[in-house]
Structure 1
Amino acid sequence: MSIAANSVVSLHYSLSAESGKEIENSRQGAGPIQVLIGHGGVIPGLERALLGREAGDAFEVVVAPVDAYGERQEGSMQRVPKKYFRDGARLKPGMVTELATKEGGQRSVVVAKVGSSVIDVDLNHPLAGLTLTFQIEIVSVREASEEEIAHGHVHGPGGVEHAQRT
């Protein structure tokens, strides 16, 4: 089966930046990741590179910032009270942490400066402005269930586990 919109893809990946330094590797985690294609679960440049591929394919894809996490936006610093951080007292400059958004989600930010009651953060994604290189191995491809499509994410092992209602 070829990868298309509403396919569930299980894949291994390694991610490196322009320097060649590895940033992430799915083989060092809980196993391959699962992605529902066409629902914003991966960056656009990677998703386009997956389309038309099949289980067993292994390839490299280079993704420019515009198709990844965008260009860095200068002036994207914000001062936030420490109480809004889970581990505010332990944060140090250069660390990546999560900050709650007004919409109820989470946003990755980089700590720029830590004061006694506030923390200055860079709102750019930590990988913004970088050209990214992915080494991909597609493990499996299947059609998504109607429920997965409706929810916009993969269910079951490697995906989201919803509590069963009785």
Structure 2
Amino acid sequence: MIKEGSKAKFDYTLTVDGKVADTSSGRGPLEYTHGAGMIIPGLEKELAGMNVGDKKTVTVKPEEGYGLVREDAIKRVPKEAVSNAEELKVGDMVGASNGEHTFRAIVKEIGEKEITLDFNHPLAGKELVFEVEIKEIN
């Protein structure tokens, strides 16, 4: 049974907005240590007490997944601050760095002089539906 400190492996398919967003299919099960904060809290909480072979559909609210969309994580930056700004289109993922941390952002808007970047996690604000099957517990 999965409990604090268990190392468990599970297969999963993640569906967001009715579309498959991620799956372990073809890659092998995901391994994690229960209670170590390696997976999102809402999923970890639902896996507690499951046994090898158990299957479950888990719905995770944004607050227990990748968080709510934070308006303060959406920034307008001058076009010249973004390399290859002329080639970007809305929806593209760009990398940014402040010296010690690297960030990823999604291009939300491209204006005449500014680009609006969204630094929220791409799944922030989304309800996550996981189909899980426990494969191994150590």
Identity of aligned residues (%): 33
Asked if 1:132 corresponds to 2:131, the answer is: no
Give RMSD over aligned pairs.
2.7
Q: 1:9 and 1:101 mapped to 2: Cα distance?
A: 36
CA drift of 1:102 comes to 5.8
**Alignment partner for residue 71 of structure 1, among 61, 68, 71?**
68
In structure 2, the residue corresponding to 1:66 is in which secondary structure?
helix
Query: How far apart are 1:113 and its partner, in Å?
Result: 3.9
- Structure 2 counterpart of 1:47: 44
Contact 1:82 1:117 (C-alpha < 8 Å) held by counterparts: no
Q: Which amino acid aligns with 1:49?
A: E
Q: 1:35 aligns with which of 32, 36, 39?
A: 32
Shift of 1:95: 2.4
Quick one: which of 16, 19, 22 aligns to 1:21?
19
Q: Tell me the TM-score normalized by structure 1.
A: 0.68
- The residue that corresponds to 1:57 in the other structure is 54
TM-score by length of 2: 0.80
Shift in alpha-carbon separation, 1:54–1:110, aligned structure 2, 3 A: same
Runs of 5+ consecutive residues of structure 2 not aligned to the other structure: none
Per the alignment, residue 147 of structure 1 pairs with none
Q: How many residues align?
A: 135
Task: State the AA in 2 paired with 1:95.
Answer: D
User: Any stretches of 5+ residues in structure 1 without a counterpart?
Assistant: 143-166
Q: C-alpha offsets along residues 108-134 of structure 1, whole Å, 9 cap, x if unaligned?
A: 421224579975320111111111100
Instruction: Tell me how far apart the structure 2 counterparts of residues 133 and 101 of structure 1 sit (CA, whole Å).
Output: 34
By percentage of residues, which structure has more strand? 2
1:6 aligns with 2:5: yes
2:54 counterpart letter in structure 1? D
